[in-house]
Amino acid sequence: MKKIQKLLVVALALSFANVVNALEIVDVQNTHWAGPQIVRAIENGYIYVIDENKFKPEGTMTRSEFVTALLKVIRRQDEPVVQGTTFKDIDDLTPDKRSVVLSEQIRMAFGYPDKTFKPNTPINHNETMSMIANITKPDYVAQDITSFADYEAIPIWARRAYIKNVANGLYINHPDESYFNPQDNLTRAEAAVLFDRISANLDKIQDKYRDLYDDIASDSFNGPLFNKSQFITQNTLNLAPFATNNKVQLYDNKKVIEAGNILIGTSMNLVKTRKDLVGKGYVFTAPNDVYTNEGTFLYPKGTEFYARVEKLGYSAWRSKAERSNIVFHKYSLPSGETYDMAGVPFTKDDKIVYVNNVKSPKKVKALSASKSTQKEYLIDCAHQMSPLTEFNIKENKTIYILLTGDMVIPQNEEYFNLRTKKSILEEDI
């Protein structure tokens, strides 16, 4: 009988004596389709071997196990937890409670409509794709996924996540590459492959995670050391009275303007719906220095917000575009540093709301604030707050910009040089 080779994992050094342990995984052969990724997942501590040196590659992962591992992959596992949880089924006895609460805090996981998380339930492919899409950058080239045989089996709420993840190469479809198997539970082998791909593509993770692995120091014993953000306090921002969120999180090395806040931008171009083309770019600029209510400087006058046309709408009887949708995808500080953002022109009744033309702000606030969760609010942004609209924006016209994703402002030497004399004097007081 042919002898089956077991997968051999050489573990990392234990203690200063450089003792190396060889670990045999008895249920994974060297020829296993995910063998190399399983080895790296174990070495990096994303997934552990179970009893009796078994990996159980076809076993499932619970939802709490998955978020715990994913936090390690994106290097956020040690971030302080500064808020409670809204999940009704999470308590002190919940396995990996800290990871679940942290994943909610950073908006990686949103749970179910009934406000539960179901930590002990096996995670399926749809939920996996959704969580990965939540943490990756909004700027990507959409891919056609209708060629996959079971495309129509993907629920509507998850299709955008699949499109985004296929574009980024952060998905799994084994053993038949023409199928997603969206309703199947994620296996441990599939998880190892996904974690390996994410780890190799950290540049596709949103900027608010990037400061955890951009600045790397070294230690002769422990290897790479990563500069992790330390939360300081929370401020408020009220550039518009009807914004559904006004929170700004302050860290020692960044400032985070949360999704739902509204910014102000002045158009540097003439924008005409009927002359739009998909991909056409527009630039808006901040008309003033921006501070929180507490006086914290956020970004200076002249900061540029970049928008592009995402889609066009045509009338039933004419072949020309009559309506369009523009989205904001990047911003640039006057120093030239450019970072990701996600936003849309704030709209009401299918019209863009201008700074000097706000109708019934209390009504707008009531309609938007009726959404009970952040996930519901973002879904509302995608389908209602960002419609195909017929509009003309004159040059130097000022509009409201609704953030649909957190806007991260890194604090470095270049950033501090942007502060105006006024802001420096105020900070010294």
Residue-wise pLDDT tens digits, 83-101 = 889 999 999 889 899 999 9
What is the rounded average pLDDT for all residues in the chain? 78
The C-alpha atoms of residue 307 and residue 391 are separated, in whole angstroms, by 15
- Given a cut of 70, is residue 261 above it in pLDDT? yes
- The larger pLDDT score, comparing residue 149 to residue 24, is at 149
- Given a cut of 50, is residue 369 above it in pLDDT? no
Give 187-202 pLDDT, tens digit per residue: 999 999 999 999 999 8
The C-alpha atoms of residue 55 and residue 35 are separated, in whole angstroms, by 11
Closest C-alpha to 293, from 370, 233, 342: 233
User: pLDDT band for position 43 (50/70/90)?
Assistant: confident
- Given a cut of 90, is residue 309 above it in pLDDT? no
Domains and CATH numbers, the chain: 231-428 (2.40.128.260)
Bridge partner residues of 109 (DSSP): none
Read off the tokens for 19.
């003792």
Closest C-alpha to 276, from 298, 252, 308, 303: 308
Give 123-133 pLDDT, tens digit per residue: 999 999 999 99
pLDDT confidence of residue 274: 63
Measure the CA dihedral 251/253/255/259, to 10°.
Answer: -80
The answer to whether 93 and 153 have CB atoms below 8 angstroms apart is no
Q: Which amino acid is at 255?
A: K
The C-alpha atoms of residue 89 and residue 114 are separated, in whole angstroms, by 10
- Given a cut of 80, is residue 341 above it in pLDDT? yes
Q: Provide mean pLDDT across the span 295-314.
A: 84
The C-alpha atoms of residue 64 and residue 103 are separated, in whole angstroms, by 10
pLDDT confidence of residue 360: 58
- The larger pLDDT score, comparing residue 318 to residue 194, is at 194
pLDDT confidence of residue 125: 96
- Given a cut of 50, is residue 429 above it in pLDDT? no
- Given a cut of 60, is residue 18 above it in pLDDT? no
pLDDT confidence of residue 350: 67
Phi then psi dihedrals of residue 38, to 5 deg: -65, -40
pLDDT confidence of residue 75: 85
pLDDT confidence of residue 399: 87
pLDDT-above-90 percentage for the chain: 31
Contacts of 336 by beta carbon, 8 Å cutoff, 6+ apart: none
- Given a cut of 50, is residue 217 above it in pLDDT? no
pLDDT confidence of residue 206: 82
User: pLDDT band for position 245 (50/70/90)?
Assistant: confident
- Given a cut of 90, is residue 176 above it in pLDDT? yes
Q: Provide mean pLDDT across the span 103-112.
A: 87
User: pLDDT band for position 162 (50/70/90)?
Assistant: very high
- The larger pLDDT score, comparing residue 148 to residue 214, is at 148
